[in-house]
Amino acid sequence: MKFNTALCFILSAGALFGMALGRWKKAAIVLAGLGFALASASLMQYWIGHSLGIDEFVVHDRHTPLAEDPGRMSPGTALSFILIDTALILLVTGKSKLVVPGQALAMGSLFGGMIGLTGYILAASSLYKFFWFSSMAVHTSLLFVMLGVATLLASWDKGFVATVTSKKMGGRLARRLIPVAVVLPIIVGWLLLAGARAGYYDPVMIVDLFAIITIITFGVSIWLQAASLNRAHTDLMEQNRLLAKAGNTDALLAAIVESSDAAIVSESADGTITSWNAAAERMYGYTAQEMIGQTMARLIPHDAFADEADVIQNIRRGARNGHFEAKRQHKDGSLLDVSVMVSSVLDDRGKRIGISRIARNISEQKRMEEDLQESLREIQNLKAALDEHAIVAITDPKGKITYVNDKFCAISQYAREELIGQDHRMLNSAFHSKDFMRELWATITQGKIWHGKIRNRAKDGHFYWVDTTIVPFMGADGRPQKYVAVRSDITESMQVAETLARQAARLARSNKDLEQFAYIASHDLQEPLRAVSGCAQLLKKRYEGKLDAKADEFIHHTVEGAERMQRLIRDLLAFSRVGTRGEEMQKINLEQPLKTAMENLAVLIKECDATITCDPLPEIHGDSGQLTMLMQNLIGNAIKFRGERRPEVHIGAVKEGDAWTVSVRDNGIGIEADYFERIFIIFQRLHTRDEYSGTGIGLALCKRIVERHGGNIWVESTPGQGSVFSFTLRDDAQSS
């Protein structure tokens, strides 16, 4: 084989490969064009009788005599390349009107190769040297046959080749007869020539024998094909029967499509809608008349075209089906979430002729998914917040730990790996009784929430307290599936409570001692004091004015001191009993204690010509006796600490929030601001006994009474203009 011949075969094969791939059409045309040009130049040299210098341009042919044009391909070879390369150029363009001419040229090249190949098979040099097919090598002939067949098969579904490759009966018959028409004459011819060369019969007999054998062979072949066609006819009749039955099935399928809840839409290959079922009308709001002949673009929001682009592209590239979720716009403008299954619609040859879409409205599902995601986010946030604040553990129904958070590990000093699979007995401090634990388990196994305080023991042995809430999570069978325990560290508050309990115990003992003192003060101290006072009174009664002036002064001081001591003990006893001997708090009208106090002060009020006024007073919860004492002290002080003017006292009450503010206003001497706090301290006096009588306990007693009722007391005053003593009382007073 000459170098230029091999090069042309490579160029033609490359062009065929590019055409088969369909992506390198330009490269295929260039390769076929180069082969065409080289073959045409070689053939032109035979016509003009002059060498163009291309035969041995690359490789020098040393085996061919100079007279036979070394390196030059034969005219038949050059012509065959011109035919096949021209065919490739026409077929690569893809234009339908060029398919048949291209296939015809490829057939010409194929026949040229067949002539040479048949000559070699039959050992008849006249064939491969026929006309311009001089000296075409056997492998060259074979390659032209293969290249021609491959070129025809590259366009198998077009032109007259489509008749042979068709699935119809004509195509099937052609595919059966072509091998017989090609192979049988060659075999018969070879046998007849071999017999003639061996001398079995005259060469003239060859024509007769060839005709007879060909008639017999083709007759048998036709008979066989007729039998096959008869069977095919029978099959066709059966298919027609089945098709008629399928027509009923198609009607049933059409009814199913129309009654389906899914929107089913079919489109042609160019995307035009060809069918639109009732569910599509309900889902999108458009009727079939409005949508058939339109495209789905009418339903796709402008910003949602990309949702289905990849799937549709894959379908067009050959994928059978695909799925996507997208937005669709209803006729009323609202947006729908849809789930779409897209499938290719193929004809009987497997060619895609359209697509079908089956869509379901998943708007509600999407909304539920979004709600679920939002709920999950809220749960995660709540869990994060809970883990940040609380000690959390989860156990199975048997109490085995399945989850603990970081705070649990931190307070117990156990690693998470040490806790998982264990139960809470590893934290048992032996503080709680068995009855306590039995009550806990009895509560939660019944599906009830348990709440209480538990003392646990950490890994290093120290104890800690946790305020615990255990919530059982019930299963469908009504039994607990898990227990979630939420705890908070109350070790410090429990320690404070223990400290307060100890202090309360000490305070109780102190109160008991104070009560004992009060008892002593009311009995043991007053008894000798009454004896002293009685003797002093007798001395004053019998001897006053009978002795000298000095004796009268001593008797006067003795009587006055005894009386002052009695008042002091009495006031001190009242002060000590405010928190221990008070009456039970009950609902009373504050006007009643006020009335009692004014009755007790009636003599003083009359002597001083005092004016007492009051606004309507509220009902409160309180100790009637102590409130009488409170009012009596404040009104008595208002009259006692009077100036030159006639005493005027006014009692008022104002509601502020859930408490009442009661005020006692006077026009007395007033108080300096520096003493506003001091006057409420026991035994503190601002005046001498010669100026104003008293023990210095009255306002301290008032403060203690108010505090027992859960309120506060204070004073506002301007010296020379009077004072306002105010105190608060709650609607539902709490004792201190």
The three-point CA angle 731-734-736 to 5° equals 145
Rounded Cα distance between 248 and 246, Å, is 5
28 and 130 inside one domain: yes
426 and 539 inside one domain: yes
Quick one: pLDDT at residue 736?
46
Quick one: pLDDT at residue 134?
47
Beta partners for 266?
275, 356
Any domain includes 378: no
> What tokens were used for 274?
């060809």
Question: Of the residues 551, 581, 611, which one is the last residue of a structural domain?
Answer: 581
Beta partners for 722?
718
DSSP state letters, 50-73: S--S-TTSSS---SS-GGG-TTPP
Any domain includes 346: yes
Question: Of the residues 256, 281, 297, which one is the last residue of a structural domain?
Answer: 256
Phi first, then psi, for residue 251 (nearest 5°) are -65, -40
Any domain includes 374: no
What is the tens place of the pLDDT at every residue in 298-311? 888 877 777 677 77
Is 50 exceeded by the pLDDT of residue 131? no
The interaxial angle of helices 138-154 and 75-92, nearest 10 deg, is: 10
Worst-scoring range by mean pLDDT, 168-172, 471-475, 482-486, 489-493?
168-172
Domain that holds residue 440: 390-581
Q: Is 331 helix (H, G, I), strand (E, B) or coil?
A: coil
Rounded Cα distance between 42 and 52, Å, is 8
Any domain includes 570: yes
**What average pLDDT score do residues 403-426 get?**
91
Mean pLDDT of the chain, nearest integer: 79
Position with higher pLDDT, 506 vs 583: 506
Number of folded domains that form the chain: 5
What is the tens place of the pLDDT at every residue in 426-475? 999 888 999 999 999 999 999 999 999 999 999 999 999 999 999 999 98
Rounded Cα distance between 486 and 387, Å, is 9
Phi first, then psi, for residue 466 (nearest 5°) are -135, 135
**What average pLDDT score do residues 79-92 get?**
88
* Cβ atoms of residues 635 and 641 within 8 Å: no
Rounded Cα distance between 713 and 659, Å, is 13
9 and 127 inside one domain: yes
DSSP state letters, 613-649: EE----EEEE-HHHHHHHHHHHHHHHHHT--SSPPEE
> What tokens were used for 694?
């008293």
Is 80 exceeded by the pLDDT of residue 422? yes
Share of the chain above pLDDT 70, in %: 77
Quick one: pLDDT at residue 449?
94
pLDDT tier at 409, thresholds 50, 70, 90: very high
* Number of other CB atoms surrounding residue 729 within 10 Å: 22
233 and 306 inside one domain: no
Burial code of 27-46, b = ≥16 C-beta within 10 A, e = fewer?
bbbbbbbbbbebbeebbebe
Amino acid at the residue 665: R
Quick one: pLDDT at residue 735?
46
Quick one: pLDDT at residue 471?
93
Quick one: pLDDT at residue 523?
56
56 and 39 inside one domain: yes
Residues 6+ apart with CB under 8 A from 47: none
568 and 705 inside one domain: no
Any domain includes 735: no
96 and 32 inside one domain: yes
User: In Å, how far from its chain's centre is CA 514?
Assistant: 68
678 and 661 inside one domain: yes
pLDDT tier at 184, thresholds 50, 70, 90: confident
Is 60 exceeded by the pLDDT of residue 256? yes
681 and 623 inside one domain: yes
**Sole residue written with tokens 């609380």:** 390
Handedness of CA 566, 568, 573, 578 (dihedral sign): positive
Question: Of the residues 165, 185, 205, which one is the last residue of a structural domain?
Answer: 165
Quick one: pLDDT at residue 132?
46
Worst-scoring range by mean pLDDT, 246-260, 283-297, 335-349, 545-559?
246-260
CATH number at residue 575: 3.30.450.20
Worst-scoring range by mean pLDDT, 139-153, 188-202, 396-410, 566-580?
566-580
pLDDT tier at 570, thresholds 50, 70, 90: low
**What average pLDDT score do residues 611-634 get?**
87
Position with higher pLDDT, 286 vs 220: 286
**Sole residue written with tokens 């032209």:** 144
Residues 6+ apart with CB under 8 A from 415: 409
Quick one: pLDDT at residue 142?
85
CATH number at residue 722: 3.30.565.10
Rounded Cα distance between 29 and 97, Å, is 17
574 and 587 inside one domain: no
Any domain includes 158: yes
465 and 531 inside one domain: yes
Maximum mean pLDDT: which of 6-15, 171-180, 510-519, 636-645 = 6-15
What is the tens place of the pLDDT at every residue in 152-183? 888 877 887 877 777 766 777 777 777 777 77
Q: Which of 649, 626, 650 is nearest to 729 (CA)?
A: 626
Any domain includes 394: yes
667 and 599 inside one domain: yes
Amino acid at the residue 229: L
Quick one: pLDDT at residue 42?
84
Any domain includes 640: yes
**Sole residue written with tokens 């001083």:** 608
* Cβ atoms of residues 18 and 85 within 8 Å: no
Amino acid at the residue 443: T
pLDDT tier at 670, thresholds 50, 70, 90: confident
pLDDT tier at 414, thresholds 50, 70, 90: very high
Is 60 exceeded by the pLDDT of residue 99? yes
Maximum mean pLDDT: which of 469-478, 516-525, 669-678 = 469-478
pLDDT tier at 395, thresholds 50, 70, 90: very high
Q: Which of 330, 356, 343 is nearest to 265 (CA)?
A: 356
Is 50 exceeded by the pLDDT of residue 657? yes
* Number of other CB atoms surrounding residue 86 within 10 Å: 22
Share of the chain above pLDDT 90, in %: 15
